[in-house]
Every structure is written in structure tokens, then in C-alpha cells.
Structure 1
Amino acid sequence: MPASAHDGDRRHRQDARVEISAVQTGDRDRGHRSNRALNAEWVEITNNGRRPVDLDGWTLRDRDGNRYRFDDYRLAGRSTVRVHTGMGRDTRTDLYQDRRHSVWDERSDKATLLDHRGHTVDTEAWGRNHRR
């Protein structure tokens, strides 16, 4: 059964508009290499502000160093984009990493969102050994 991360270890700033709002990990024991299973694994990024945010050059990474770089993407105000692990066609609300293997460990991992300067915007950790 897939696990979901919760906001127990989120790094917040008072003026933060963009955050990791949800994480859905994959089930590595069953069908983790099918594109359907990989796309059931995702991270949601939410812009809580009213103005759009240019995510061009921002990165999303896991504890093992796997990275997804946002390319020419603007996140509208008060909206969410879901970044799937598998392959697909990017839309306004869904982006795809085009990977053939699972990224997010269901037992323990950490998602980190970095801006174009490499500054940490938000983190989400779950499972055992989770650290900020």
C-alpha cells in the first residue's frame, strides 16, 4: 500500500508562498517499474500566493540526490502542480520526470524544493531516520 507524507517536518518561512503540499510514494514491492505505478508516485507543489511564481531553474530532489529541474514553468497563484515520477505529457497541473524507476522511498525519504539560486524553499521528510 502506498504511503503519504505529512507536514510534520516542513521548513516554513513566514513569507513563503510556494511549498511542498503533499507527497505520495510508490509501492516498491508491486509493479514499481510500470509507468502507471511510477505516475502514482508524486510530489505536489503549491503556490499559496495570489501572484504566479516562475519555477524555471528550481529543482526538486530526494535524499539520494535524484533531481528534477523545472524548465520554463510558471505556477499560477493559488494553484498546485503535481510532479509525477514516470513518463507523460506535461500540462499546467501535471509535470513528469520521465523516469523508469521509483524515486521516493515509501519507508523513509526527504523531498527538498530549491529555488533557482539553490536556496531551500521547503522540505518534506517521512519515515524512520527523517531529519531536516
Structure 2
Amino acid sequence: MRKTVGVLAAAMLGLVTSMTVAAPASAAPSLRVHSVQYHPNGVNDGSGTFANREWLQLVNRGKEAINLRGYTVHNKNGRTYRFGDVVIPGKGGRVWLRSGAGDDTARTVYWNTAGFVWDVEGDKAFLRNRKGHSVHTCSWSYVKGRDWVRCPVNP
């Protein structure tokens, strides 16, 4: 009887330990692509001003601020933006990456292109950390009349 109780106790301890150590595979990333305004309606005049209507928004749902230095965002064609010394606050902090040209601020950074980055026919935004590991992705397909997408938490 003692041996059976000991074996059961050891088995239960192992089960509880494995349940508390393992993180759920579907855990939402704290830093992610929240939404993308791609190819807004109108004609691009090539100045970059109109391209600023196109943006990608990052959100940090974690508790701590994250310095994005070395993080990258790129599209399905490999067009890449590398963040400088930009800090995104925790607890819902947001940063916008605008496609056009401008002076970076604490909340808005600029890709400094004269044209659009995101393909209206469908595209995919990849967010990678400074080591090149995927943090989050967001993809979309063409939908008539739509030029904005809110990204799923777990794509």
C-alpha cells in the first residue's frame, strides 16, 4: 500500500511539474503587429507625403518597455526596415512605421520611401527581433474596398 501511494504521489508530482513548467504553445506574443493601413485610396504623387498614409502599427502588450534597435519589419518581397533606437512602452504602448518620409519621433518612425511598401493585392508583414527570429507576422489578401487590416494575435 505504501509503495502504491508513493508511486502515485511521484506520478502526481511529475504531472503537476510538467503542467507548470510548459508554456502554452498558443501564448500571444507581447510585441506584435497590431494593424496595417496598406495602399490607401488615391494617387501617389511620388513625394512620399501620400505614402505616409500607409503605415504598420506595433503594439507591446507586455509589462516592460522594449527597445526595438535592430528589430526589422519586411514585406513578402523582402523590402526591409531596420529600427534604430526606438523604445515602445509596455502595457499597450504603440509605434507607427509610416512608409513615406519624415522625422522620427518617439511614436512614429518613417521608412523614407517615396512610394508604397505594402502590396494592395495581398502581402505579409514580418516582424523579427535583433537576432532575426520571427516575433509576429500578419498577412492579408485583396478584398475590394478594403485597405486596412487588423492582425490576428496568433496567425
3-state secondary structure, aligned to 1:92: coil
SS at match of 1:72: coil
- The aligned counterpart of 1:61 is 74
TM-score under structure 2 normalisation?
A: 0.70
CA radius of gyration, larger in: 2
Give the partner amino acid of 2:70.
Answer: G
Alpha-carbon distance change, 89 to 14 in structure 1, aligned in 2, over 3 angstroms: same
1:96 maps onto 2:110 in alignment: yes
* Corresponding residue number in structure 2 for 1:16: 29
Conservation of the 8 A alpha-carbon contact between 2:123 and 2:139 = yes
Deviations 1:25-54 (A, max 9, x none): 114862262322100000000001121011
Percent identity between the two aligned chains: 30
Distance change >3 Å, CA 32–CA 89, structure 1 → 2: same
Gaps of 5+ in 2: 1-24, 143-154
CA deviation digits over 1:71-128, x for unaligned, max 9?
A: 1111111210000011001111110011112110112100000000100000010015
- Equivalent position amino acid for 1:54 in 2: N
**Equivalent runs, 1:1-132 vs 2, <5 Å:** 13-14=26-27, 16-27=29-40, 30-31=43-44, 33-77=46-90, 78-127=92-141
* Amino acid of the structure 2 residue aligned with 1:99: T
Query: Residue type of the partner of 2:131?
Result: R
Which runs of 5 or more structure 1 residues have no equivalent in the other structure? 1-11
User: With structure 1 as the length reference, what TM-score do the two structures score?
Assistant: 0.82
- Pairwise CA distance, 1:18: 0.2
CA distance in 2, matches of 1:112, 1:121: 8
| Number of equivalences | 118
Greater relative contact order (Cα < 8 A, sep 6+): 1
Shift of 1:13: 4.9
Secondary structure of 1:38's partner? helix
